[in-house]
Amino acid sequence: MNETVVTGAEDSNRYRLLIDAISDYAIYMLDADGYVASWNPGAQRFKGYTAAEILGAHFSRFYTPEDQAAGLPARVLRTAATEGRFEAEGWRVRKDGSQFWAHIVIDPILAPDGEVIGYAKITRDLTERRRAEEELKLSEQRFRHLVQAVTDYAIYMLDPQGYVTNWNSGAQRIKGYPPEEIIGQHFSTFYTEQDRARGLPGESLEKARSTGRFEHEGILVRKDGTRFWAHVVIDAIRDERGEIIGYAKVTRDITERKEAEAALAQANEELMQSQKLEAIGRLTGGVAHDFNNLLMAISGSLELLRKRVPSDERLLRLVDNAMQGIQRGATLTQRMLAFARRQELRPGVVDVARLVDGMTDMLQRTLGPAIQIETQVPEGLPAILIDENQLELAILNLAVNAKDAMPEGGRLVIRADEASARDNAALDAGHYVRLAITDTGEGMDAATLANATEPFFTTKGAGKGTGLGLAMVRGLSEQSGGTVTIQSEVGKGTTVTMWMPVSLETVSVADDMVADVAPEPGATRRLRVLVVDDDVLVAMNTTAMLEDLGHEAIEVHSGRQALETLATTNGFDLVITDQAMPQMTGSQFVSEARAKWPGLPVILATGYAELPEDADRTLTRLSKPFMQSDLERALKQVPGLTN
């Protein structure tokens, strides 16, 4: 027990000065019945009472009504008196009625004969610490929910010896074990007897321990004994001292991929390539959409996480590495979309004669002296609306293909003229410019010609071509509103013709000399935003990014839910909607919403560039996957949202 010893007036004054100088702690005395007998400035700052207001009042007024009703103040004093000390944390009440989280210590003050004559009470305001702890806990819960929501990957942790410490829903789906059966078991359970016998589980942990990462493809075993092909990544987790505290393990079931590879390997190599890559060309758009959503879920979480992680260079480097991987994935997705004719283009008004004239010297240097280049592009052709950089790349691809078809040299003719839809039944009504590139090379037979524009199809042999050139030319033409035709005959050469719609605008000479610079829009005011996306993870991350920018956001997961929310909730400044949603697409939702709420600002977020013919082309577009900076830039582009 603590005892208070009186050492004279001088020491008493010194103690009084010391206590009055403390403002971060409330330090005061109670008499034996709990009435306030002294009051320091810290107590006044925390609780709001001046000394004149509180001296003589019972200390129970600092407790919540619930604690008072439960008799907590009396119990606190009784504990301090009988046990020599009381210490706890809990909610306390200020003079103005607001509550704060406090750490309390109460010591009894004893007379020489041991009788309790009062209490010394010290209170500290821990509200900010508790709020930080709650925010950290909430962040951890969100991250845990994110991991648990992933079902295509088994994501779990191992302790330093390799025993499973947690288990996500993807792990249960892929491997068959519920958490209560596998947590605490050694991860070697998932390996075949042969791999265990040759020590592969131990080798994988040792590799991760020594290099920081282990990656492998091999056969693993499910709970029911069936085997599957798996792609496994094990990352070492270290504490601040660099000691191993466990491993993060990610497993993906790649059985279908391996089975497809094995089946295709049995077929003729040329037939395997054409069939496999033709399927890839058709499936690319859907794969890219799903991939974009995965990238969105990861990038949004990482971007926000980076703002909140401690200033630890190693942690920041890991997050930055992950973000670079996401950016590479986004680039890959755009290439896939290009093959599927769904890449994002930046169309502009282009003078074909001027563009071809400007490229001729570069083409001659590229093709070499054995190739004679002839241009037949008349002045005065109508301008076309197309992405100029992509058109230059298309012409270069066709020229290089032509050179490969003329190994002994030959003639390359680039010609252009005006045409109409009557000249090509595949085109919509309107006027077009035909840009044709003709070579005097080997030509193609009917079977080759039928597959020439499919992604990855090539007749150049292994290592001599990707088969992407004609596919990209076709994708550019069709996405720009035109098409591609190919005429070829073995021994007589090939003509590839791009049909491109005429622009209603004209080209100014100044377009090549001066770039108009749009003024930077002002800052966006605080907005109330409705987020519509059928992918829960994407919607959650878009909402989190908006909230991090200072906006208020509500998420729904279908167009119908969005319409109901708009009808029952007032005050939305903006809607951000996905395009590819089941039952009702983003364009359909916008059409219905605009009919009821004309002028409602909308941003269309999509991984596709193609939209339905009746879609509103004036909508602000946001390409998936997008970063927080892309989202902020899109907000500034919507009229009426900036200050």
pLDDT: is 556 or 387 the higher one? 556
Residue 138 belongs to a domain: no
Same domain, 488 and 409: yes
Backbone angles phi, psi at 466, to 5 degrees: -95, -20
Residue 293 belongs to a domain: no
C-beta atoms surrounding 572 within 10 Å: 19
pLDDT at 284: 60
Same domain, 372 and 499: yes
Same domain, 540 and 626: yes
Share of the chain above pLDDT 70, in %: 79
Q: Check whether 49 has a pLDDT greater than 50.
A: yes
List, for residues 70-86, the tens digit of each pLDDT value.
999 999 999 998 998 99
Region 44-50: mean pLDDT is: 87
Same domain, 367 and 449: yes
Secondary-structure percent of the chain, ordered helix, strand, coil, rounded to 5: 45, 25, 30
The answer to whether the CB of 173 falls within 8 A of the CB of 150 is no
Q: Check whether 551 has a pLDDT greater than 90.
A: yes
Q: Check whether 244 has a pLDDT greater than 60.
A: yes
Least confident of 143-152, 241-250, 284-293, 558-567: 143-152
Residue 3 belongs to a domain: no
List, for residues 193-225, the tens digit of each pLDDT value.
999 999 999 999 999 999 989 998 999 999 999
Task: Find which of 141-145, 222-226, 389-393 is predicted with most confidence, using mean pLDDT.
Answer: 222-226
pLDDT at 291: 72
pLDDT at 289: 65
pLDDT at 424: 84
Query: What band does 5 get if pLDDT is binned at 50, 70 and 90?
Result: very low
Q: Any idea what the CATH number is for the domain that residue 536 is in?
A: 3.40.50.2300
d(CA 601, CA 449): 47
Region 550-570: mean pLDDT is: 93
Query: What band does 602 get if pLDDT is binned at 50, 70 and 90?
Result: very high
Same domain, 115 and 155: no
Q: Check whether 270 has a pLDDT greater than 70.
A: no
pLDDT at 138: 65
Query: What is residue 445's three-state secondary structure?
Result: coil
**Kind and range of the H or E run holding 101:** strand 99-110
List, for residues 478-508, the tens digit of each pLDDT value.
878 888 888 888 888 889 998 888 887 655 4
Q: Any idea what the CATH number is for the domain that residue 403 is in?
A: 3.30.565.10
Q: Check whether 371 has a pLDDT greater than 50.
A: yes
Residue 291 belongs to a domain: no
pLDDT at 514: 38
pLDDT at 566: 93
Residue 322 belongs to a domain: no
| Neighbour-count burial for 491-508, b at 16+ CB within 10 Å, e otherwise | eebbbbbbbbbbbeeebe
Strand 244-253, strand 153-158: pairing: antiparallel
Query: What band does 157 get if pLDDT is binned at 50, 70 and 90?
Result: confident
d(CA 84, CA 111): 14
Q: Check whether 385 has a pLDDT greater than 80.
A: yes
Same domain, 80 and 180: no
The answer to whether the CB of 442 falls within 8 A of the CB of 491 is yes
d(CA 384, CA 149): 47
Residue 320 belongs to a domain: no
Prediction pTM value = 0.37
Same domain, 79 and 23: yes
d(CA 107, CA 85): 5
Q: Please identify, among 454, 479, 511, the residue that sits at the C-terminal boundary of a domain.
A: 511
Query: What band does 305 get if pLDDT is binned at 50, 70 and 90?
Result: confident
Same domain, 169 and 116: no
Query: What band does 516 get if pLDDT is binned at 50, 70 and 90?
Result: very low
Calculate ∠ Cα 521-618-552, nearest 5°: 55
d(CA 171, CA 228): 13
Same domain, 96 and 45: yes
d(CA 378, CA 381): 7
d(CA 248, CA 263): 33
Residue 323 belongs to a domain: no
Same domain, 428 and 533: no
Q: Please identify, among 266, 291, 312, the residue that sits at the C-terminal boundary of a domain.
A: 266
Q: Check whether 512 has a pLDDT greater than 60.
A: no
Query: Which of 430, 125, 451, 38 has its CA nearest to residue 270?
Result: 451
| Number of domains into which the chain is organized | 4
Q: Please identify, among 218, 238, 266, the residue that sits at the C-terminal boundary of a domain.
A: 266
Task: Find which of 292-296, 450-454, 498-502, 621-625 is predicted with most confidence, using mean pLDDT.
Answer: 498-502
Residues in the chain, total: 643
Q: Any idea what the CATH number is for the domain that residue 182 is in?
A: 3.30.450.20
List, for residues 313-368, the tens digit of each pLDDT value.
787 788 878 877 777 676 556 555 555 545 556 678 889 999 998 888 888 888 88
Region 237-248: mean pLDDT is: 88
Query: Which amino acid, one-letter code, is at 500?
Result: M
Burial class (CB in 10 A: 0-12, 13-18, 19+), 208: buried
Same domain, 507 and 532: no
pLDDT at 400: 84
Strand 552-556, strand 528-532: pairing: parallel
Least confident of 3-12, 137-146, 195-204: 3-12
Same domain, 113 and 160: no
Share of the chain above pLDDT 90, in %: 29
Residue 327 belongs to a domain: no
List, for residues 400-437, the tens digit of each pLDDT value.
888 888 888 899 999 999 888 888 877 888 889 999 99
pLDDT: is 550 or 510 the higher one? 550
The answer to whether the CB of 292 falls within 8 A of the CB of 329 is no
Residue 618 lies in domain: 528-637
